[in-house]
Amino acid sequence: MCQRVFRNFDPSLRTQEKAVEYVRALNAAKMEKIFARPFVGAMDGHIDSVSCMAKNPNHLKGIFSGSMDGDIRLWDIASRRTICQFPGHQGAVRGLTASTDGHILVSCGTDCTAVDHQCDGNLFATAGAQVDIWDHNRSQPVNSFEWGKDTVISVRFNPGEPNVLATSANDRSIAIYDLRMSSPTTKLIMRTRTNSISWNPMEPMNFTATFGSLFSQKSLIHGSVANEDCSCYSYDARKLDEAKCVHKDHVSAVMDIDYSPTGREFVTGSYDRTIRIFQYNGGHSREIYHTKRMQRVFCVKFSCDGSYVISGSDDANLRLWKANASEQLGVILLYQSGCIITRIPTLLQLLPRERKNHEYREAVKNRYKHLPEVKRIVRHRHLLKPIFKASALRRIMIDAERKKDERRRAHSAPGSIPRESIRKKRIIKEIE
């Protein structure tokens, strides 16, 4: 029979309690870095750049990918193998999307720039010279929108309101359309081009846009990061006069973005050959992933369960990453006729005692995260040398611009140069 243990938690009797917890917090932060192994494996098979990806909402392990040579593949994430290929495109595949039931895959080629399917319905939208709304059973668009003369490069349906969609165009605009009104509702004119848009699945009124012009981007080796806004901005569709949050850290154009199913974080892929994971309300990334062989990242996706991140890059590879770098992976062995045919990595199911210990370490680390030593260990990330140099150069240029504004304001009449918030700085005007 187990005897009940009585403990006296009087602080006067446990004078070293905070010191012991601080040491445990340090050890927890160090152990997290030791066991951080985010890269799971690469999925090769394409012979040209991976330009787009799409998730199958009805299949947890499936992911579609399209490349610049017109090849479309369905991958099994667990085994990292191609399940099937879909021929048909003669040129580059610009967009992929799957229906909610997972039975229909829609792709667009060089005559369009993007495609997205309605979250709950039979409609999908294509973007190009104009925005066309299509039905599965019709060969002609059921509706068309045109607001401006420039090419629309991104389109996304709202996950909570299927009749609302957002687009971005080459004229640096972000437009919101409502299918119930058969007309556009709002348009923002930005200072730089928006490459991609993603709605928050848990807060459907909020969306995050990625910025940076691809055409003026050059190699990081030449250090050209000067005149580009490489940040992401989160907006509330009900109040578009300023951003809710600015997400910084990339040093080149951000090409794609995707939210986690929980809506608490999102992943971005950039021209600087890295992918980063941000908290939905965080100004800086919590993780940065890169490899020596990975080139410019064109598309990124969270897995349907939020445990993995998939990236597609210019080197014709898809790469599989863990969403939590230090999370443990186990191996499932598949046998056939007494022989091992494959090893499939999967997340380990922790025992109750291990889960309790893990939760305690996270709680202690979170409690002491503001202290300098713990903060230094948690925030440290290893960067590639070109990215490190580009980040330092970008900080110097931002500081120089800030000092220039301060000096101009100091030598001008009081109030003649108003201060402009960084959340409003990227917006030129709003059109309704």
168-185: pLDDT as tens digits: 998 889 999 999 888 888
Burial class of residue 204 (count of CB atoms within 10 Å of its CB; 0-12, 13-18, 19+): middle
Beta pairing partners, 277: 267, 287
- Sorted by sequence, the CB contacts under 8 Å of residue 94 that are 6+ apart come out as 51, 52, 66, 108, 109, 110, 112, 113, 114, 115
What is this structure's pTM? Answer: 0.88
Per-residue pLDDT in tens (0 to 9) along the chain, 432 residues: 677 777 777 778 777 888 999 999 999 999 999 888 899 999 999 999 999 999 988 888 899 999 998 999 999 998 899 999 988 788 899 999 999 888 899 998 887 888 999 988 889 999 988 899 999 888 889 999 888 778 899 999 999 898 999 999 988 899 999 998 888 889 999 888 899 999 999 999 999 998 765 444 333 333 333 335 788 999 999 888 889 999 999 999 999 999 999 999 999 999 999 999 999 999 999 999 999 899 999 999 999 989 999 999 999 999 999 999 988 776 555 555 555 555 556 666 677 888 888 889 999 999 999 999 999 999 888 888 989 999 999 899 989 999 999 999 999 998 888 888 888 888 888 887
